[in-house]
Structure 1
Amino acid sequence: MKRRETVMLMVVGVVMAGCRAQAPMAELKMEEKAQPGLGWRAPNGRKTEAEPTAWLDQFDDEGMRRAVGEAVASSPDLKAAAARMAQAEARAVRAGAPRFPTSGLGLRTNEDWRQVVAGPGAVIRQQQSVYALNVDISWEVDVWGRVRNNANAGRANAEAAADDYAAARLSLAANTARAWCNLLEAEWQTRLGENTVASFRRNLATVDSNFDKGVPGVTALDVRFARSNLASAEANLENRKRGRDESRRVLEALMGRYPAGDVATSGRLPTLRGEIPAGLPSTLLLRRPDIAAAERRTAAALQQAKASRKALLPTFRLTGDARTISEDLAELIDTDKIIKSFVKSMTQTIFQGGALRADVKLADAQVEELAQRYASVALTAFREVETALAAGVYLEGQIAALRKFAEESKEAEKLAVSQYERGLTGILNVLESQRRAFDSQSGLIRAENQRLLNRIDLCLALGGGF
């Protein structure tokens, strides 16, 4: 009867151990003042339950989508993240292995010499092979759930690694999109710099000609001013070329290419196709992979803390052994010759110098650390969304003002050139009006790119797919 109960206990244990380990969700603990409301607080943080999806479609640029696709397919960093995910999955399998019985099979052969009577008065020595087969099975009965807690912790850590991979993939997509926009801005700034140099070169030619002709009011000082402006514009152009070259190589490296500096672009800053739904603050916790990873690590630490406490309790183990010895290899599996043994044992640690209780304190401290990090990651996510939402409003206002600035500066430049040609103003007013016109255009290009980068930041902060 006892043997049947023991066998049933082992069968039930194996079946239960075969179930997939799963660590419960960890609670997000935040102070009341840090908790979000029902909607976003930013100026354009409209309350909406729509979820952000496929954010690359917000940008009217097929080249950007191709660049992101190439980066995701070829990036060594992302492949390294995938390898880390595979490692974590293997560790999870190892952590769950103690749920199952361990078994071993041994086969041994010995060569013995023995004396054999060959006839009356005749004894000979004969070599004889002896075979031994041994099968042993051992299983720790998870009475307290310690083994299950360790398996749950391993599975939660594997899930955290999968979330890390998703976060790395999303971050790579966002960084590639940012690099694409930065390169386009650099190309526009370079073209603007080339136009500036060409304009200042024409100014210098005009001033030189007027000075040589002895036009009244045109002095050597005017020539010097025109030359210094041209030299400054040429230096600025070289700096912009350097920035364009660096932007190309950054983008190529993100795409997994050799940074040769010859990547081609669409030649224009992409336009935005409307607003992106921000969703609700509560759903952000479910979308962002970095938050999910922090939660899974906290859940794993909770399971490990439980296992540490249960390590103070007795351990129960079932051990079985079956062996047979035969001179004939074919008779090793003869059931009549099998010798069986079955042992039940209990082990209770008495003294380890306080190591086990120190493990409990260590695990509790790790839980607290990861729980606070979880809250910090969530708070950072809320900040990033709110900041990006607010920045979108301010950038729209800034761009509107810069467009007005650029229009007025262009008209002022035309007026200054017209008055200079009629002898109504000096060259300094012309140079200053041209400088302001080019500065306003440069600032407008920079602000329009900042709006694109802010939209990418918002998409990254909101999580979801791309």
Structure 2
Amino acid sequence: MKTRYTLVAVATSLFILSACSSSSYVDEPLVKPELPASWHTDAKSLQDNQSWVSPIATDQLLELISIGLNTNQQLIQLALEVEVKKQQLNISDSSFWPELNLAANSARRGDSDTSSSSNSLSLDLSYELDIWGKLSDSAKASKLNLLTAEANYQQARDALVADVVIAYYKVVTSTELVKLFERRTENAKLNFDIIESGYLQGLNTALDVYLTQNEFHSENSNLLAQRSQRNKDIRTLERLLGGYPAGKLLVDEQLPLLPQGIKIGVPSELVKRKPQLQAAWYQLLAQDALVAFTQKQRYPALRLGADIGTASNDIANLLSGDYSSWSVFAGLSAPIFNAGRLKSQTEQQKLKLKQQEQQYLNTLFSAFEQVENNLDLDASLQQQYRSTLKAQDNALQAETLSFEQYQSGLVSYTTVLDAQNRAFVAQSSVISLKNQIIANRIGLHLALGGDLDASVTEEE
């Protein structure tokens, strides 16, 4: 009869709480920014989607990318963070299942005259009904946190591939500049020998000898500095690969000139494609679920339970007991007074939600800004390269002509030095611009949410 009354009480409680659940917490609308239909930067020349990945995907670079994806410490940390979030999701999902515990108790009681002992062994079963969806909100937040971690990992993976490519071609750039400095140093030494020989024959002045000697030592100093820069760039690449920065990696490639073409799509596609924006959105949804969970912490909680066990004065008799003692119960609890703690926690999470909304908008528009900047820079670099290439041809011809005129006595040696300096600036600018075009194209591809690793594999 007592069990019957208990079941009736449980059913009544469920009916009352289910009726109350119709007044569940209603979230405020999340951010929905208006996006332009197309990019503001004129990028018509980039719509052709020409193959630009293949020219940079050397066998050595592909191997280095593979090494970096498997050994980079920061990427491994983010992969482990994904596993942590998976375990957190398992913890949240376990709340939907009953909890079964084995309890063994032993006690001894008495007074000044007598004493007695009691021992018990029981199985306790408890289960919380998710009548408000509180447990569902907690599991939802955990699931969204897992999606956030996975998106962050994918973004870090894409960024690592981009960083490796950029660092690789920075090493190539440094190597080409080292070769350029070596040629200039050799030419300066040759010029010095020629001018010194002419001076000994009375054809040149001592000033010319000092100028050529100064030019040689200056070029030699620049060569040493550029070699040091190349070693530094190699160490940067080695650290991206997760190894010791020994500066021993050998890279012998040339800078390719990329065609002016890449598929850019429209701004609305970026929101769905870029892992960084996906992670920010998942984080916003997770915070929204956390607000709902915190709100429902203030509602009554209904727990069901049962236990079965036995008791004996002798521990040895516990395992041979008849386990005839059992009970079924239902418990309803609700917070009444906690000095406003639960209310403040709810308001705190609501404020964090508003912060998260602004953080998402900031991340979103920063992503658009990066794309617009990269689009503008890509077109500008292509034009700069064409102009600088013409300047290089003219400067090299002027350098040769000025030295010939100097030997004929038509110009002073300062004119030769000026022509040589212009030629060097033009040559180094061509090398640097080719590297900037590669770095910016990689940055643009990453900003557009492209998976460079997949693009390389697809084109190969």
Secondary structure class of the residue paired with 1:343: strand
What does 1:219-298 align with in structure 2 at a 5 Å threshold?
219-272=205-258, 275-298=261-284
Q: Which residue of structure 2 aligns with residue 63 of structure 1?
A: 60
Which SS does the other structure have where 1:344 is aligned? strand
Q: CA deviation at 1:453?
A: 0.3
Compute the displacement of 1:88 (Å): 1.8
Helix, strand or coil at the partner of 1:188: helix
Instruction: Name 2:300's counterpart in structure 1.
Output: 314
Judge conservation of contact 1:314–1:346 (CA < 8 Å) in 2. yes
Q: Does the CA contact (< 8 Å) of 1:142 and 1:148 recur in 2?
A: yes
In the other structure, the counterpart of 2:413 is 427
Say which SS state the counterpart of residue 342 (structure 1) adopts: strand
Task: Tell me which residue corresponds to 1:391.
Answer: 377
Aligned residues with identical type, % of pairs: 27
* Aligned position for 2:167: 179
Separation (CA, whole Å) in 2 of partners of 1:131 and 1:157: 45
Does the 8 Å CA contact 1:72/1:172 hold for their aligned counterparts?
A: yes
CA contact (8 A) 1:60 1:271 kept: no
Question: Does residue 91 in structure 1 map to residue 88 in structure 2?
Answer: yes
CA contact (8 A) 2:52 2:261 kept: no
Deviation for aligned residue 1:27:
4.1
For 1:40, the equivalent position in structure 2 comes to: 39
Q: Is residue 2:210 matched to residue 1:210?
A: no
Distance across 1 between alignment mates of 2:119 and 2:300 = 39
Residues 100-179 of structure 1 mapped to structure 2, 5 A cutoff: 100-107=97-104, 132-179=120-167
Structure 1 residue ranges without an equivalent (≥5): 10-23, 112-128
Structure 1 position 110, deviation (Å)? 9.2
Offset of 1:62 from its aligned partner?
A: 2.4
Mapped partners of 1:277, 1:230: distance in 2? 48
CA distance in 2, matches of 1:45, 1:36: 20
Q: 2:69 aligns with which of 56, 69, 72?
A: 72
Worse overlay, 263-272 or 64-73? 263-272
Among 23, 29, 36, the alignment partner of 2:32 is 29
Distance 2:401 2:255 in 1: 30
CA 1:110–1:192: 2 relative to 1, 3 Å: same
Q: SS where residue 321 of structure 1 aligns?
A: strand
The change in CA–CA distance for 1:6 and 1:245 in structure 2 (over 3 A counts) is farther
The unaligned stretches of length 5 or more in structure 2 are: 13-26, 109-116, 454-460
Taking a change above 3 Å as real, the CA distance of residues 55 and 384 of structure 1, as seen in their structure-2 partners, is farther
CA-to-partner distance for each residue in 1:160-216, whole Å, 9 max, x for gaps?
A: 11111111111111111110010000000000001111111111111111111111x
1:446 deviates by 0.4
Q: Report SS of the residue matched to 1:226.
A: helix
1:38 is paired with a residue whose SS is coil
Q: How does 1:315-330 map to 2 (within 5 A)?
A: 315-325=301-311
In 1: Cα distance, 2:298 partner to 2:318 partner? 47
SS in structure 1 opposite 2:280? helix
* Residue of structure 1 aligned with 2:189, choices 194, 198, 201: 201
CA-based RMSD: 3.0
Equivalent position of 2:361 in the other structure: 375
Query: TM-score of the superposition, structure 2-length normalised?
Result: 0.85
1:14-73: CA deviation from partner (whole Å, max 9, x where unpaired): xxxxxxxxxx9x94433xxxx4322222221579798x9x98546242222221111111
| Mapped partners of 1:135, 1:46: distance in 2 | 74
Letter in 2 for 1:464: G
- Cα distance in 2, alignment partners of residues 268 and 47 from structure 1: 24
Distance 2:213 2:75 in 1: 51
- Rounded to whole Å, the distance in 1 between the matches of 2:372 and 2:195 is 53
CA distance in 2, matches of 1:82, 1:370: 24
CA contact (8 A) 1:56 1:65 kept: no
Residue-by-residue CA offset, 1:415-443 (whole Å, 9 max, x unaligned): 11221222222211112111111111001
Alpha-carbon separation, structure 2, partners of 1:6 and 1:64: 71
1:328-357 CA distance string (max 9 Å, x none): 56644x5xx422211111111111111111
In structure 2, what is the Cα distance between the partners aligned to 1:172 and 1:195? 35
Call closer, same or farther: CA 1:225–1:47 in 2, change over 3 Å.
closer
Which segment drifts farther, 433-442 or 38-47? 38-47
Q: Residue 413 of structure 1 corresponds to which residue in structure 2?
A: 399
Give SS of 1:264's match: coil
**TM-score (ref. length: structure 1):** 0.84
> Whole-Å Cα distance in 1 between the matches of residues 298 and 435 of structure 2?
60
User: How many angstroms apart in 2 are the aligned matches of 1:413 and 1:446?
Assistant: 21
The alpha-carbon deviation at position 295 of structure 1 amounts to 0.7
